[in-house]
């Protein structure tokens, strides 16, 4: 996870078949992500979208 992705943990994702997903947008605030999600539901009513909080794995690459 890059530094810019860590700054924007709220993600709007599109749900795909076979338990897959695609991140469409990232936001710093939940309210911004929810507003974007509402717009997507209005513009594309047949697709499945959801909102997640993506904190990452927390593990850092360590070389020994």
Residues 21-38, mean pLDDT to the nearest whole number: 95
Residues 39-53, mean pLDDT to the nearest whole number: 95
62/64 Cα distance (integer angstroms): 7
Residue 14: strand, helix, or coil = strand
With residue 27 as reference, give the H or E element that holds it: strand 20-27
Burial category of 29 from C-beta neighbours within 10 Å (exposed 0-12, middle 13-18, buried 19 and up): exposed
Q: Is residue 44 pLDDT above 60, yes or no?
A: yes
pLDDT at 13: 96
pLDDT at 62: 43
């Amino acid at each position: 996870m890059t530094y810019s992705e860590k700054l924007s943990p709220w993600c709007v994702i599109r749900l795909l078949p076979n338990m897959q997903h695609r991140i469409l947008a990232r936001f710093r605030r939940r309210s911004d992500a929810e507003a974007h999600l509402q717009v997507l539901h209005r513009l594309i009513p047949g697709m499945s979208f959801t909102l997640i909080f993506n904190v990452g794995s927390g593990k850092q690459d360590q070389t020994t």
